Chains A and B, each alone.
Chain A
Amino acid sequence: MKHATIFFLYVSQYMKTRLTYRVDMAMEIMSDLLFQAVNLIFILVVFGHTNMLSGWSRDEIIFIYGFFLVPFAIFGAFFNIWDFNERYIVKGEMDRILTRPVHSLFQIILERMELESLFGMITGIAVMVYAGSRLDLTLSWYDPFVFLMMVIGGAFVYAGIFVLLASISFWSDSRTSIMPMMYNIGNYGRYPVDIYNKVIRFILTWILPFAFVGVYPSAYFLGREEWYGYAFLTPVIGFAFFGFAIFMWNIGVTKYRGAGN
């Protein structure tokens, strides 16, 4: 309860500051939209040359992309802590966080949130509706709830991986290029995993489970029954990864060395 009130206070503060920099905000939303459009065009170009990719049609792949955008937007809004190392460890801002009576990760999420990213959800849903209508998908009454679970699961997968990476900074504060690389790997989850070779498929399922952000949960809505097992694992994997990440974070905090001064 207390966390919820703190959350909404931060959100309202965030909106207040953002509204004073209106141009910045508009630019950010524009560039997000542009980025999504480019990705969509890429898919269309690929399908200009072929009709099927390992048994997946163009509209199915567009649907997967649309689904992916929704958990990715939530991740981008709250867990995008790629600059954690530099900001909080090297500059020592973590000191300040640790003198406040709220869980450190929660505070950092609140300080680093970028609510503009949530617009990506709208794009994602629009893309899904477009692809879905071309595929004649029908919805049951429980599908919205399943959708919610899948989205939360997918967002937690992403969040878990990035929180784990951020936790590494507690042990070693040397700068690494893992974060940008991870964004690229994350993109692989947008395409059906059976187009990749076995090793990559295994990695995307069990080690860096990005497949649970895109393909697997979408398979459920596309009625691909052969993938249902994986589809329903999405929330499980999400909670497991996120839980593990928080566990490692908590250990990491005790290893925090502070910025030298």
Chain B
Amino acid sequence: MEKVIDVQSLRKDFKSHSSRSGLKGAFRDLFTRNYKVISAVKDISFTVNEGEMVGYIGENGAGKSTSIKMLTGILTPTSGTVRVNGMDPHKEREKFVRSIGVVFGQRSQLWWDIAVQESFRLLKKVYNVPDDVYNEHMNHVIESLDIGPLLDKPVRKLSLGQRMRCELAAALLHNPKLLFLDEPTIGLDVLVKLKIRNFLKEINEKYKTTILLTTHDLTDIEALCDRVVMLDEGQIIYDGKLAKLRSNWGEGKQIEFQFGEDVNKEKLVPLLNELEAEWTIGDRPNVFVANVVNEEHVISEVIGRVVAAHRITDIKIHEISTEEIIRNIYEEGMLNG
């Protein structure tokens, strides 16, 4: 299969000067400056094949944006190699950006004051898309994203959800082989999110468009991506199947008991003797949570023993969410989960 993105030991250092304190320090800063080198991205390597949908996740400051900006040719890498669509993004920038589409959720690609279709018309010229290709492709995009009625409105009059769909259409105007989406669903309601997700799935199947998606909303990733690349402090700490991540880290279940009488931890602890389970105190009075391994006999044994010993008013069983798994990974700082 063809490699769309090929990144080898990619690194980006930022030099920033730290100012000394006080007036005397300010004077010294005038002549000699203290520079601190901060590495935002530390020698990461990964490849993405054609047609893949990859979730690119990490906390704020983990190096996500910086690495995406190097992949899109906005920033020049300090060292390492990047090949995207067979090109070196920042060296052949103008030629390269024709082959990618970019949506930055917090930054508009469209012109604020003019109607959406006028923006499309300008972009069509900028990307030099021939009329027939444009008509065939864009009619389909406009229909799937249901933005037909919005085309003659200026962007500033659109709601966030409407604007986001138009942004997506604008990014796909030249039918790029590779699509970078940075927070595409930030602040959107559930219905719009679903629409956008379905659309992304559809173009991925239809055109084999490769999609690299960053988001804080893990439900997007769960809905779309088989594979996740997880960054922390500028390094890749996990690269693999989302399902594997879940099975390695999300093994346990949580059973939440609401007791009908006053209980305390001392009374409950003996109940879990010889079982792979432990108690944590819940967030309300008389609520305790048993964290257990995901095995049928353990779960039923725990429930059986607790119910036999105490009066219960409610039981809930939770599966650990991807979000919690990821939070756990970050807290433990595991490498190569």
Q: Nearest Cβ distance between residue B198 and chain A, in whole angstroms?
A: 25
Chain A's closest residue to B113 (CB) is A17
- The answer on a CB contact under 8 Å between A102 and B69 is no
Chain A's closest residue to B97 (CB) is A101
Chain A's closest residue to B128 (CB) is A2
CB-contact partner of A255 in B69, B73, B76, under 8 A: B76
A243 at the interface (CB under 8 A from B): no
- The answer on a CB contact under 8 Å between B75 and A92 is no
A184 at the interface (CB under 8 A from B): no
A256: B residues at CB distance < 8 A:
74-76
A254→B90 CA distance, assembly (Å): 8
Question: Which of A3-11, A79-87, A116-124, A212-220 binds B?
Answer: A3-11
Q: Nearest Cβ distance between residue B34 and chain A, in whole angstroms?
A: 16
Count of chain A residues near B, Cβ 8 A: 26
The contact string, 1 if C-beta is below 8 Å from chain B, for chain A 89-112, is: 000111110111111000000000
16 contacts between A and B (CB under 8 A): A2-B128, A6-B125, A94-B74, A95-B69, A95-B104, A99-B100, A100-B97, A100-B127, A101-B94, A101-B97, A101-B126, A102-B94, A257-B14, A257-B75, A258-B74, A258-B75
Q: Nearest Cβ distance between residue A95 and chain B, in whole angstroms?
A: 5
B106 at the interface (CB under 8 A from A): yes
Please give me the 7 A-B residue pairs with the lowest Cβ-Cβ distance, nearest first. Answer: A99-B102, A98-B74, A17-B113, A254-B76, A101-B94, A101-B98, A101-B97
A16 at the interface (CB under 8 A from B): yes
B36 at the interface (CB under 8 A from A): no
Which one of B69, B73, B121 has the greatest number of beta carbons of chain A within 10 Å?
B69
The contact string, 1 if C-beta is below 8 Å from chain B, for chain A 1-37, is: 0100110011001001100100000000000000000
A6: B residues at CB distance < 8 A:
122, 125-126
B118 at the interface (CB under 8 A from A): yes
B267 at the interface (CB under 8 A from A): no
- The answer on a CB contact under 8 Å between B125 and A5 is yes
A220→B94 CA distance, assembly (Å): 42
- The answer on a CB contact under 8 Å between A9 and B125 is yes
- In the complex, chain A residues 245-261 whose Cβ is within 8 Å of any chain B Cβ: 254-258, 261
Given contacts A17-B113, A258-B74, contact A9 B122 (CB under 8 A): yes
A254→B70 CA distance, assembly (Å): 11
A142→B138 CA distance, assembly (Å): 52
- The answer on a CB contact under 8 Å between B97 and A261 is no
- The answer on a CB contact under 8 Å between B106 and A100 is no
B210 at the interface (CB under 8 A from A): no
- In the complex, chain B residues 78-126 whose Cβ is within 8 Å of any chain A Cβ: 90, 93-95, 97-98, 100, 102, 104, 106-109, 111, 113-114, 118, 121-122, 125-126
Interface residues on B, range: 20 to 34
- The answer on a CB contact under 8 Å between A13 and B125 is no
B185 at the interface (CB under 8 A from A): no
B286 at the interface (CB under 8 A from A): no
B residues within 8 Å of A by Cβ? 14, 65-66, 69, 72-76, 90, 93-95, 97-98, 100, 102, 104, 106-109, 111, 113-114, 118, 121-122, 125-128
A79→B106 CA distance, assembly (Å): 28
Q: Nearest Cβ distance between residue A259 and chain B, in whole angstroms?
A: 9
Chain A's closest residue to B174 (CB) is A101
A13→B118 CA distance, assembly (Å): 8
Q: Nearest Cβ distance between residue A161 and chain B, in whole angstroms?
A: 26
A5: B residues at CB distance < 8 A:
125
A94→B104 CA distance, assembly (Å): 12
- The answer on a CB contact under 8 Å between B114 and A17 is yes
- The answer on a CB contact under 8 Å between B106 and A95 is no
- The answer on a CB contact under 8 Å between B69 and A258 is yes
A17→B113 CA distance, assembly (Å): 7
Given contacts A101-B95, A254-B90, contact A16 B122 (CB under 8 A): no
- The answer on a CB contact under 8 Å between A99 and B95 is no
Q: Nearest Cβ distance between residue B13 and chain A, in whole angstroms?
A: 11
A98→B91 CA distance, assembly (Å): 12
Chain A's closest residue to B124 (CB) is A9
- The answer on a CB contact under 8 Å between A13 and B74 is no
Q: Nearest Cβ distance between residue B48 and chain A, in whole angstroms?
A: 18
Chain B's closest residue to A100 (CB) is B126
The contact string, 1 if C-beta is below 8 Å from chain B, for chain A 212-255, is: 00000000000000000000000000000000000000000011
- The answer on a CB contact under 8 Å between B111 and A13 is yes
- The answer on a CB contact under 8 Å between B114 and A99 is no
A99→B100 CA distance, assembly (Å): 9
A255: B residues at CB distance < 8 A:
76
A255→B104 CA distance, assembly (Å): 21
A77→B59 CA distance, assembly (Å): 44
A103→B126 CA distance, assembly (Å): 11
A140→B100 CA distance, assembly (Å): 55
- The answer on a CB contact under 8 Å between A93 and B94 is no
Q: Nearest Cβ distance between residue B116 and chain A, in whole angstroms?
A: 13
CB-contact partner of B122 in A10, A98, A103, A254, under 8 A: A10
Given contacts A6-B125, A92-B107, contact A103 B94 (CB under 8 A): yes
